[in-house]
Chains A and B, each alone.
Chain A
Amino acid sequence: MNETLNVAQPLHHPEEGQNTLLAPDAALLLLTWITFFTLLVVLYKTAWKPILTALEKREAMIRKAVDNAEDAKNQLAKIAETRGQLIKEADREAREIVEASRKAAVEAAKVIEHKAEEQAQIILENAQREIKEAKEELVADLRRESAQVAVQLAEKILEENLNNEKNNKIIDQFIKNL
């Protein structure tokens, strides 16, 4: 074990014992700069710049999309509001129409009722008048007949044939006086 270590060490590190941990090394310093700036320039052109541009583009796109979504939402809200208003208006109109038609119907019914009443009144009056006329005629007829009967009766009783014309005069006078 020790032998392998002892053999390995000089092979491994020929400058053994020489502590170079804090030794300045201008070549390494320069190499660091060269590699770093090479990377910086090449990666700037091929990696960082395209990535940053793509990121910014995407951010702008997302911002725009979010704005658009906001707009769409606002528009949708407006549409919903309009729709609600329209529905309310339509509802109101429908109610008005129903109310108006109900009123019209009630009025029409009233008119019809009124007309019917009037007509009934007319019919009733006509009937009453007809009845009255008939009654009067009937009464006149009755009087006339009863007078004739009375005359005939008196003729029979008196057995005296009187002039028919004279009789009629007497009867008319009699009716007038009645």
Chain B
Amino acid sequence: MDDLKGQFALDQYIMNHVQNAQQWHLPFLPPIHLPGFLTLHGLMLLIATGLLLILLLRPRHAESRIPSKWGNALEILVLFIRDEVAVPCLGPEDGKKLTPLFCTFFIFILFLNLMGMIPFFSTATANFNVTGALALITLCFMIFGAMYKNGIKGFSHALIPSGVPVPLLFLLVPIEFVGLFIKAFALMIRLFANMLAGHIVILALLGLIIILGYFTLPFMFVMALAIYLLEVFVAFLQAYIFTLLSAMFIGLMYHPAH
């Protein structure tokens, strides 16, 4: 048992599975080496994009009043994002305008999350570069979108709360300003950590089979399966939370409290 532990480094095994790589391992095939600029997570992004384009670009019968099954599912998604996420956070006008952005956020993150649940695929959203890029988009809307909508003066109203004594402003304005970036940073870390943690737990449980011996296999398998199912739920949940919080943060900047 001891020498087993020595030879099998569980932490390395887990890290190697969750971190980005330069090659893609498919069963019964030699590893596919990726060109320099493209990493495994980058490949996952491309696959997800391709998949989404194939699925969503299918000819739709827009003229027909009764949508097809797939169109119906998409409609439910769009309706949900519009009525439960965008409009409550941004008001009817901006909410309707930004609904496509949140729909794209949701479906893109959801696909990336779910792709990580497929064996031999990797979770791109468990890479903080990806989640950071997505959070930066939200940050851009929070800053530049709000500036475009309200003007520089209107934007400054969001940072400078009215009715506060001037000396306090020296404290509050920097906090509000830093808060912008903290919000985006939290978005990045939340998605990244959630997607990473689930995989680490599953891999740890499976790795324990090797460390503790194969007699633990049924127990660990059931545990890993349970975590896996939880992860599928988390994949949906985190996609939703990222979308909802993005909408909320952008809404806070678009309509600063008076």
| Contact status of A32 and B45, CB under 8 A, knowing A42-B57, A43-B52, A46-B57 | yes
Residue A105 at the chain B interface, CB threshold 8 Å: no
Residue B146 at the chain A interface, CB threshold 8 Å: no
| Contact status of A51 and B45, CB under 8 A, knowing A25-B20, A32-B134, A39-B53 | no
| Contact status of A29 and B132, CB under 8 A, knowing A13-B16, A43-B52 | yes
Q: B16: which A residues are within 8 A, CB to CB?
A: 9, 12-13, 16
| Contact status of A2 and B4, CB under 8 A, knowing A32-B45, A39-B49 | yes
Q: Is the interface of A mostly helix, strand, loop or mixed?
A: helix
| Contact status of A2 and B37, CB under 8 A, knowing A16-B16, A39-B53, A58-B65 | no
Q: B217: which A residues are within 8 A, CB to CB?
A: none
Residue A138 at the chain B interface, CB threshold 8 Å: no
Quick check: A40 and B37 within 8 Å, CB to CB?
no
- Which of B93-101, B158-166, B219-227, B239-247 is found at the contact surface with chain A? B93-101
What's the minimum C-beta distance from A39 to chain B, rounded to whole angstroms?
A: 5
Interface residues contributed by chain A, number (CB under 8 Å): 46
Quick check: B46 and A52 within 8 Å, CB to CB?
no
| Contact status of A29 and B18, CB under 8 A, knowing A36-B108, A40-B100 | no
Quick check: B20 and A52 within 8 Å, CB to CB?
no
Residue A131 at the chain B interface, CB threshold 8 Å: no
What's the minimum C-beta distance from A33 to chain B, rounded to whole angstroms?
A: 5
Find B57's partner among A27, A29, A47 (CB 8 Å cutoff).
A47
| Contact status of A27 and B134, CB under 8 A, knowing A42-B53, A52-B82 | no
Quick check: A51 and B134 within 8 Å, CB to CB?
no
Quick check: A31 and B15 within 8 Å, CB to CB?
no
Quick check: A31 and B42 within 8 Å, CB to CB?
yes
| Contact status of A29 and B129, CB under 8 A, knowing A11-B31, A35-B48 | yes
Residue A28 at the chain B interface, CB threshold 8 Å: yes
Find A39's partner among B19, B65, B108, B129 (CB 8 Å cutoff).
B108
Which of A25, A26, A27 has the most chain B CB within a 10 Å cutoff? Answer: A25
Identify the B interface with A (CB < 8 A).
Answer: 4, 7-8, 12-13, 15-16, 18-23, 25, 31, 37-39, 41-42, 45-46, 48-49, 52-53, 56-57, 60, 62, 65, 67, 71, 74-75, 78-79, 82, 96, 99-101, 103-104, 107-108, 124, 127-130, 132-134, 137, 196, 210
Identify the A interface with B (CB < 8 A).
Answer: 1-2, 5-6, 9, 11-17, 19-33, 35-36, 38-40, 42-44, 46-55, 58
Offer 24 A-B interface pairs, CB within 8 angstroms, sorted by A. A2-B4, A6-B7, A9-B16, A13-B21, A20-B19, A21-B18, A21-B196, A24-B129, A25-B20, A25-B129, A26-B129, A27-B39, A33-B137, A35-B45, A36-B104, A40-B104, A42-B57, A43-B103, A47-B56, A48-B100, A49-B100, A50-B62, A55-B79, A55-B82
Q: What are the 5 A-B residue pairs with the smallest beta carbon separation, nearest first? A: A32-B133, A48-B100, A13-B16, A28-B129, A35-B49
